[in-house]
Amino acid sequence: MNRQSNTYTIIYSTVLVIVVGVVLSVVYQALRPEQVKNIENDTKRQILAAARIVPENGESVADLYTDHITASYIVNTEGQKTDSNIDAFNVDVAAQSKVAADERLLPVFECKTDQGLKYIIPVYGAGLWGPIWGYIAFDNNGDTIYGAYFAHAGETPGLGAEIEKPKFQDQFEGKDIFSPSGDFTSVAVVKVGKEPQGQAWVHAVSGGTITSQGVQKMLYDSLAPYSAFLKSL
């Protein structure tokens, strides 16, 4: 075959694309189990971080998760455990956030800590440039926040991205999400000097107004469906 012909060029290109595609597919399939494991371990790390449990040198995230997470299940908006066959760990919280509140699968993780049993709940919302998410750990009174962890997909470094820093997250410790009368109020994220009366609050990220507002909305929208469950504790 004439190597200078268009036919040769087309055949050569087609074969090359097929070979490269097959090789990439084989490599992807070979690496996929390790990728899934890494994703699962990162999720476990985030869940534990909400309960202020951080792996130290030589500690395995998977082992820490097994040691501290004593139970996980799904509840409904009436605060009752469901008989769903879906593992709470595998619930797509991002997808569930788009479902009507009374139809959502609401995962709960029970965590054993040196300060007693904690209940960890996932939260998901939108920041300035993309999704934001995290986990909130509650004391066993179902009201007081024990710890918080937040992450983001693309918030601005030094501004909205500060929600992932301890300086912002540590403010949530000790905040109550119910009023003294038992009404769900969540936690306000406000500028200095704008602190509300009768509601728990934290200070917003300086220069990250929209991201901070996103965190406030995320907390309210994500935690409200759990209010019956948390009250039952």
Domain ranges of the chain: 48-232
Closest CA to 233 of 124, 108, 90: 108
pLDDT-derived band at 63 (thresholds 50, 70, 90) equals very high
Quick check: 194 pLDDT over 80?
A: yes
Residue type, 149: Y
Distance CA 192, CA 187 (A): 15
Residue type, 102: D
What pLDDT is attached to residue 149?
98
Q: Please state, for a pLDDT cut of 70, what percent of the chain lies above it.
A: 92
What pLDDT is attached to residue 19?
77
- Picking from 25-29, 90-94, 114-118, 210-214, which range would have the lowest pLDDT averaged per residue? 25-29
What is the strand order of the sheet 69-75 is part of? 69-75, 106-113, 116-126, 131-138, 145-152
What pLDDT is attached to residue 83?
86
Quick check: 115 pLDDT over 90?
A: yes
125-183: per-residue pLDDT in tens? 999 999 999 999 999 999 999 999 999 999 999 999 999 999 999 999 999 999 999 99
Retrieve residue 101's tokens: 């509140």
155 DSSP assignment: P
What pLDDT is attached to residue 11?
72
What pLDDT is attached to residue 207?
94
Closest CA to 217 of 85, 124, 120, 139: 124
Query: C-alpha angle with apex 141: 56 to 121, nearest 5 degrees?
Result: 55
Place of tokens 């455990």: 81
What pLDDT is attached to residue 15?
76
Strands (E), the chain: 69-75, 106-113, 116-126, 131-138, 145-152, 188-190, 201-203
* Whole-number CA gyration radius for the chain: 23
Contact predicate 88/69, CB 8 Å? no
What pLDDT is attached to residue 28?
63
- DSSP per residue, 193-211: T-PPSSS-EEEPPTT-HHH
What pLDDT is attached to residue 32?
63
pLDDT average, residue stretch 83-112? 95
Burial class (CB in 10 A: 0-12, 13-18, 19+), 83: exposed
Distance CA 165, CA 173 (A): 14
List Cα–Cα distances, 120 to 7, 22, 78, 89, 125, in angstroms. 62, 43, 18, 12, 17
Distance CA 170, CA 193 (A): 19
pTM: 0.85
1-26: per-residue pLDDT in tens? 566 666 767 776 787 778 777 777 77
pLDDT-derived band at 44 (thresholds 50, 70, 90) equals very high
